[in-house]
């Protein structure tokens, strides 16, 4: 990749620039990651939307490899935390330690934790205790870390990718709702198909490893990514589409919810009332809009459409819906609920 082809951080990129850069990052990642096209697109969408991603997949599906490859392609600083049950919050955020100066004076000095980077991989985040998991909350939401009463800002772009192993539930701690809500998208990685498996074998067992070329220059990567993120926010959204996103989120909330009170959802969805204990928060609507904007830019448009919202709805809403016991006993998952919500809300388009 030629760095000269990268967009300049000083000038306003065009929609075509955004789409081209996005496709190039995708192409670099797919040099290593075989398949998972949708997962990669959602991952990059979350990056440019300024959000974080929760990656759920069984072992061996390339979760860690995907994140590492992304870091290489973006040419950003990258840290990895392997979450274990004995991991402490200070192991993530950093801590103040007593340091001896050259003069022999002893003073507290802040030692930054692995959270201080551009791209953070929290591997198997559900193996840590909720207290440790919550150590990421401030960093993810506010791009800052407070230790010992002192707040330390993080350098944008800041992108957290956490992985979950859905089958090894022994000794794990489900993420609290507040933590889940801070992830813009939840990306599912499934096992590859036979053809993809053959390609994976070919690319990983040979003498040569696929090399990933960074898309951005190291000193301009942050600025260029921030410029592209700013462009995403300029995509125009008509009021009816904002209303559509809000209606979609409201439709995920059961009518008898204590949170909702006397308010009634504008769209009645049987599956929601029967299987959902808590629906999506307003962050879900934000995720819909931001994810939709990315899709609009990739489609060469400066405006959001209904289809954009519906395409990002599963990734934006599924992990925000808390199912009840009836859903578990009936084998209903959040994907099916979101599907029903989309079906119902689609009837109310303007």
Partner 1 sequence: MAEIRRDEQKLWLILFQIRGVRVRLNSLALQHWIFSTMAFMTGGAALIFGAALMLGPLAFLSATAVIVLFGLAGIIRETRAALRQRVNPLKAAAIADDRGALKGRLTTVLTLAQTPRLSPLWSYLVEDTYSLRNDFEPARIEPRWVSRSIFALLGACLAAALLIPFARMHRAPGVQAGGSGEAGQIVADIGNLEVRPADPALEPNAEVYADPETLRKLEDKLAGAQNQDNDKSELGRWMNKARNLAGGLQNQLTGEKAANHPPVRLKLTDRNPGTDKGGTPSRAQSGKGRDETGKPLANSQGGGGNSSSAHSSQPPVASIPGQQADQLAQNQGTSPQAPGSDTAQPGQGDLQNLFDGGSGGGGSSHGSGSDPRNLFGQASSQPLGSDNFKITIEAEPSDESSTPGAPTYVPPKVRVPLNSNQYPDEPLARAAVPAADQMTIKRVFER
> 74 or 296, CB closer to partner 1?
296
Nearest to 251 by CA among 271, 270, 232, 266: 266
Q: Minimal distance in Å, beta carbon 292 to partner 1?
A: 10
- Token representation of residue 260: 């909702």
DSSP class per residue in 240-297? HHHHHHHHHHHHTS-TT-TTTTT---SS--HHHHHHEEE---HHHHHHHHHHHHHHHH
> 129 or 242, CB closer to partner 1?
242
Q: Minimal distance in Å, beta carbon 344 to partner 1?
A: 18
* 349 forms part of the interface with partner 1 (CB under 8 A): yes
> 20 or 96, CB closer to partner 1?
20
Question: What is the rounded CA–CA span in Å between residue 253 and residue 231?
Answer: 32
**Binding residues among 85-104 for partner 1 as defined by CB under 8 A:** none
3-state SS assignment for residue 83: coil
* 350 forms part of the interface with partner 1 (CB under 8 A): yes
Q: Minimal distance in Å, beta carbon 74 to partner 1?
A: 24
Site string for partner 1, 8-27 (x = CB under 8 A): ----x-xx------------
> 45 or 165, CB closer to partner 1?
45
* 302 forms part of the interface with partner 1 (CB under 8 A): yes
* 304 forms part of the interface with partner 1 (CB under 8 A): yes
Q: Minimal distance in Å, beta carbon 9 to partner 1?
A: 16
Residue 94: in which H helix or E strand, if any? Answer: strand 94-100
* 269 forms part of the interface with partner 1 (CB under 8 A): no
Contacts by 234-238, CB closer than 8 A, 24 or more apart = 234/302, 235/293, 235/296, 235/297, 235/301, 235/302, 235/303, 235/304, 236/302, 236/303, 236/304, 237/289, 237/292, 237/293, 237/303, 237/304, 238/303, 238/304
CB atoms within 10 A of CB 131: 11
* 289 forms part of the interface with partner 1 (CB under 8 A): no
Nearest to 47 by CA among 179, 213, 158: 158
* 299 forms part of the interface with partner 1 (CB under 8 A): yes
Total of chain residues touching partner 1, rule CB under 8 A: 24
> 97 or 236, CB closer to partner 1?
236
> 166 or 240, CB closer to partner 1?
240
CA 345 from centre of chain: 25
Nearest to 228 by CA among 1, 77, 41, 13: 13
Site string for partner 1, 227-266 (x = CB under 8 A): -------xxxxxxxx-------------------------
> 32 or 248, CB closer to partner 1?
248
> 202 or 300, CB closer to partner 1?
300
> 168 or 299, CB closer to partner 1?
299
CB atoms within 10 A of CB 124: 19
Q: Minimal distance in Å, beta carbon 236 to partner 1?
A: 5
Which residue among 37, 195, 307, 330 contacts partner 1 (CB under 8 A)? Answer: 307
Which residue among 38, 77, 305, 324 contacts partner 1 (CB under 8 A)? Answer: 305
Residue 258, C-beta contacts closer than 8 angstroms, at least 6 positions apart: none
User: Length of the chain in residues, anyone?
Assistant: 350
Binding site for partner 1 (CB under 8 A): 12, 14-15, 234-241, 296, 299-308, 349-350
């Amino acid at each position: 990749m030629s760095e000269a082809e990268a967009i300049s951080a000083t000038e306003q990129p065009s929609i075509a620039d955004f789409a081209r850069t996005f496709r190039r990052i995708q192409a670099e990642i797919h040099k290593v990651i075989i398949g998972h096209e949708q997962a990669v697109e959602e991952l990059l969408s979350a990056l440019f939307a300024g959000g974080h991603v929760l990656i759920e997949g069984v072992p061996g599906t390339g979760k860690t490899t995907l994140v590492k490859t992304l870091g290489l392609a973006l040419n950003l600083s990258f840290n990895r935390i392997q979450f274990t049950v004995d991991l402490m919050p200070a192991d993530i955020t950093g801590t103040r330690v007593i340091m001896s100066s050259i003069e022999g004076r002893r003073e507290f000095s802040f030692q930054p934790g692995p959270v201080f980077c551009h791209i953070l991989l929290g591997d198997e985040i559900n193996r840590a205790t909720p207290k440790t998991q919550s150590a990421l909350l401030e960093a993810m939401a506010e791009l800052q870390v407070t230790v010992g009463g002192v707040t330390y800002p993080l350098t944008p772009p800041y992108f957290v990718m956490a992985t979950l192993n859905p089958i090894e539930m022994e000794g794990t701690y489900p993420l609290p709702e507040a933590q889940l809500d801070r992830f813009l998208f939840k990306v599912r990685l499934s096992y590859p198909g036979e053809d993809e498996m053959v390609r994976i074998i070919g690319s990983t067992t040979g003498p040569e490893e696929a090399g990933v070329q960074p898309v951005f220059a190291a000193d301009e990567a942050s600025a260029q990514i921030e410029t592209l993120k700013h462009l995403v926010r300029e995509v125009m959204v008509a009021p009816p589409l904002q209303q559509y996103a809000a209606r979609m989120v409201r439709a995920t909330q059961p009518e008898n919810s204590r949170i909702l009170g006397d308010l009634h959802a504008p769209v009645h969805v049987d599956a929601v009332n029967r299987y959902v204990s808590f629906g999506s928060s307003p962050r879900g609507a934000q995720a819909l809009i931001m994810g939709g904007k990315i899709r609009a830019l990739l489609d060469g448009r400066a405006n959001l459409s209904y289809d954009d919202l519906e395409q990002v709805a599963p990734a934006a809403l599924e992990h925000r819906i808390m199912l009840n016991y009836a859903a578990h006993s009936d084998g209903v998952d959040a994907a099916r609920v979101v599907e029903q919500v989309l079906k119902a809300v689609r009837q109310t388009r303007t």
